[in-house]
């Protein structure tokens, strides 16, 4: 499949990964319709930071992924859907689980139901490595058991299952795309890397973190969006779940020390109790297999962790970017 001139819908296009994916699809020559969350400020999220030239090539659709009518309207005449819209913050899911079911499960149902009715050529549903929970074996393959260790992960497992059922029941041409821990410019303030960087750049000598012992498989955002594109190009992956991962791991503590070394070597890490997950909810190890992705596509990791961190830190050093983050509060 060639993506050039394909009519593409990206849900969650106003978010972190979604905005980077939109940029990549424009480079592929796609006709991009960006589904952004409706709000009275007329904000298009991170798409507002794109150039005028880029924005002139994007059709913006403001709506709510929870609304089946709006989703169906957005998907008319679309060839391929990249469904990224979701609530993703784990701590927020502890006290607002209903919102996660409505957005992540019902939102996904809205997309795939419309795709079935409209005869959409291809659907890519975005999952998360959190569905695996703490690794029972490594590297984690797509056959690893699912463990709902938070309401967030439970909602994503539910979304994955309803998507898989539509493939099996109706031959809907979809793939479940499962990125591991993506980082980079524009990432949410609730994620660990922006949390560390923004505290350091704002002059904090004591960096507040939760548990620093868990390990993560950290994937630079440009490698993630390359994975999405390669998966869309592969008909072999229709009906499959597929990881995007580096097949490596680093502890949160070692990651923090690496960033501290780059910005302020004298800074210290302190434990902040409010940032700790309940023990049975914490995912202590994520270390993903990328063998399936490599064996079925031309994807390869292009950015090392150090290269990705350097680009991310440089982006945050721009005052106009840093000013968008409130490092003095705990973002759930």
State which residues form the domain around 190: 7-322
Does 332 reside within a domain?
Answer: no
Q: Which two tokens stand for residue 193?
A: 């890397």
Does 83 reside within a domain?
Answer: yes
CA separation for the pair 277, 258 (Å, rounded): 23
pLDDT of residue 1: 74
Using one digit for the tens of pLDDT, what is the confidence trace for 172-228?
999 999 999 999 999 998 899 999 999 999 999 999 999 999 999 999 999 999 999
Arithmetic mean of pLDDT, 291-295: 98
Predicted TM-score (pTM) of the model is 0.97
Say if residue 132's pLDDT is above 90: yes
Beta carbons within 8 Å of 78's beta carbon, 6+ residues apart: 7, 8, 9, 33, 118, 120
Arithmetic mean of pLDDT, 122-143: 98
Burial of 95 (0-12, 13-18, 19+ CB in 10 A): exposed
Does 328 reside within a domain?
Answer: no
**131 or 328: which leads in pLDDT:** 131
CA separation for the pair 57, 66 (Å, rounded): 26
Number of compact structural domains in the chain: 1
Say if residue 240's pLDDT is above 90: yes
Say if residue 2's pLDDT is above 90: no
Decide: 209 and 254 in contact? Cβ < 8 Å. Answer: no
Does 221 reside within a domain?
Answer: yes
Where residue 23 falls among pLDDT bands split at 50, 70, 90?
very high
CA separation for the pair 310, 222 (Å, rounded): 13
Arithmetic mean of pLDDT, 267-292: 96
Does 2 reside within a domain?
Answer: no
pLDDT of residue 93: 98
Arithmetic mean of pLDDT, 257-261: 98
The fraction of the chain above a pLDDT of 70, given in percent, is: 100
Arithmetic mean of pLDDT, 65-69: 98
**Closest C-alpha to 301, from 215, 216, 226:** 226
pLDDT of residue 289: 98
Length of the chain, in residues: 332
Lowest mean per-residue pLDDT among 16-20, 96-100, 328-332: 328-332
Say if residue 332's pLDDT is above 90: no
pLDDT of residue 279: 94
Average pLDDT, the chain: 97
Phi first, then psi: give them for residue 171, nearest 5 degrees. Answer: 55, 30
Say if residue 11's pLDDT is above 90: yes
pLDDT of residue 331: 78
Give the 3-state secondary structure percentages of the chain, helix then strand then coil, rounded to 5. 45, 15, 40
Using one digit for the tens of pLDDT, what is the confidence trace for 274-285?
999 999 999 999
Does 44 reside within a domain?
Answer: yes
Domain with 197 in it: what CATH number?
3.40.50.720
Say if residue 328's pLDDT is above 90: no
CA separation for the pair 322, 332 (Å, rounded): 18
Does 80 reside within a domain?
Answer: yes
């Amino acid at each position: 499949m060639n993506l050039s001139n394909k009519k593409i819908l990206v849900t969650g296009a106003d978010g972190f990964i979604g905005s980077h994916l939109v940029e990549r699809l424009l480079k592929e020559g796609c006709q991009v319709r960006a589904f952004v969350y409706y709000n009275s400020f007329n904000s298009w999220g991170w798409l507002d930071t794109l150039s005028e030239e880029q924005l002139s090539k994007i059709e913006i659709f403001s709506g709510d992924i929870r609304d089946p009518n709006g989703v169906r309207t957005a998907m008319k005449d679309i060839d391929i859907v990249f469904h990224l819209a979701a609530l993703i913050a784990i701590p927020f899911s502890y006290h607002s689980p209903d919102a996660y079911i409505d957005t992540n499960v019902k939102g996904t149902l809205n997309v795939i139901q419309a795709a079935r009715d409209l005869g959409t050529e291809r659907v890519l549903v975005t999952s998360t490595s959190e569905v695996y929970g703490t690794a029972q074996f490594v590297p984690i393959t797509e056959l690893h058991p699912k463990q709902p260790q938070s309401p967030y992960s439970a909602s994503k497992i539910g979304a994955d299952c309803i998507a898989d059922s539509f493939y099996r029941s109706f031959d809907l041409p979809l793939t479940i795309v499962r990125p591991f821990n993506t980082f980079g410019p524009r990432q949410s303030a609730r994620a660990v890397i922006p949390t560390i960087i923004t505290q350091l750049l704002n002059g904090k000598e004591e960096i507040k973190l939760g548990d620093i012992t868990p390990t993560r498989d950290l994937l630079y955002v440009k490698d993630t969006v390359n994975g999405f594109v390669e998966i869309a190009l592969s008909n072999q992956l229709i009906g499959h779940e597929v990881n995007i991962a580096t097949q490596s791991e680093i502890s949160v503590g070692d990651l923090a020390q690496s960033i501290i070394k780059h910005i302020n070597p004298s800074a210290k890490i302190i434990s902040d109790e409010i940032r700790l997950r309940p023990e049975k909810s914490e995912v202590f190890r994520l270390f993903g297999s990328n063998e399936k992705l490599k064996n079925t596509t031309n994807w390869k990791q292009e950015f090392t962790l150090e290269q990705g961190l350097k680009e991310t830190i440089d982006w945050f050093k721009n005052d106009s970017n840093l000013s968008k983050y409130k490092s003095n509060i705990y973002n759930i």
